[in-house]
Structure 1
Amino acid sequence: MSSFKALASIPLSQVQTLRVNDVVEPLHLDSPATFVMTDFSRRSPRIIDSDTAVDETVRIMSKIHVRSKLVVDKNLNLVGIVNLADLLSRKVLMAANQKGIKRADVTVNDVMVKVAELHAVKLPKIQGSSIGDVLATMRTLGEQHLLVYDNDKHIRGVISAVDIGRALQIPLDINVTAHSFKDIFNVIHEHTELN
């Protein structure tokens, strides 16, 4: 038998007003960067296996309302990051065409941003920085995610551009940097198809 007990409650109809003076102040560019960091010492990272099918990943991410996941291999080593926008984009069809496989056989590994293409900042730097500093770093790097590592060089957290935009209640556009000729070709190919 469980040792947990139900808490006393009242019908919500008996609670009429909002206490607005207790509402947390909105974040701004000068707010501490740690306010938008997902800290893995407090919250487990959202992970997915690299060999998970793209359609299954979309289903999982949509069901739990997340836009990105860290990608791990069978030994739980970080190998990349995948975001919902990429999973719903032409990137999936291009990966299928390049590998000569059916779209249904495309995995997270085929569309993720590989760890070699990502950057990380040391935790004390983040602790002494503002959201604006992190945003400037992400724009300079051309990356949607910034990983945070601790003194032992373990990944301690992640900051995403989507989370910053949501926290500041503004749309953000980070121009993703191409890391290879293939990336440049894909960007040009997508741009010419849109025009």
Structure 2
Amino acid sequence: MGLVSLQMLHSQEMQKHVAQGFPREQLLLSDFMLPKSALKAIHFEDLLNARISDVIETLKRSQHQHCLVVDNKLNVIRGLISANDIVRKLKLPIDVNQNPSFMEIFDSIEKVKLAS
């Protein structure tokens, strides 16, 4: 159906909904969910031989922090690519507490390339 992250459930997000007139006790998880249709998706078959740089290049225009991995043959979601996981694995100089997007990862890598 969609994706819910800890950031989406943060109290500031709840306060925004309450400020819009929604009673706190009536808020639903779906009020914070990013619908599947709004998420970028990469086909599993395309990832089988992809490098991390290929994935970052593909996702560089995405302001999102997650990307679905879908299998069209089986018609299922195979996984999820997390921008935070990429930052940690590549040891990029990005604060994961700020919930970076794929665009920020791309920009950080470009800065590292220019500096070297």
* TM-score, normalised via structure 2 length: 0.69
RMSD: 2.2
Q: Give 1:174's aligned residue.
A: 101
Q: Give 1:134's aligned residue.
A: 55
Letter in 1 for 2:52: I
Q: Give 2:35's aligned residue.
A: 114
Q: Give 1:156's aligned residue.
A: 78
Give identity over the alignment, percent: 30
Contact persistence 1:138–1:144 (CA under 8 A): no
Q: Give 1:144's aligned residue.
A: 65
1: CA distance, partners of 2:35 / 2:62: 15
Aligned length, in residue pairs? 97
Q: Give 2:17's aligned residue.
A: 95
Letter in 1 for 2:39: L
Query: Structure 1 124/143 Cα, relative in aligned 2: closer, same or farther at 3 Å?
Result: same
Unaligned runs of 5+ in 1: 1-78, 177-195
2: CA distance, partners of 1:123 / 1:110: 29
Contact persistence 1:138–1:174 (CA under 8 A): no
Shift of 1:152: 2.2
SS of residue matched to 1:155:
strand
2: CA distance, partners of 1:148 / 1:137: 13
Pairing partner for 1:124 from 15, 27, 45: 45
Query: Structure 1 155/116 Cα, relative in aligned 2: closer, same or farther at 3 Å?
Result: same
Q: Which has the larger radius of gyration?
A: 1
Matches within 5 A, 1:52-63: none
Q: Deviations over 1:140-191 (max 9, x none)?
A: 2322111111122211111110111121122263178xxxxxxxxxxxxxxx
Contact persistence 2:62–2:102 (CA under 8 A): no
Letter in 1 for 2:4: V
Contact persistence 2:39–2:64 (CA under 8 A): yes
Unaligned runs of 5+ in 2: 104-116
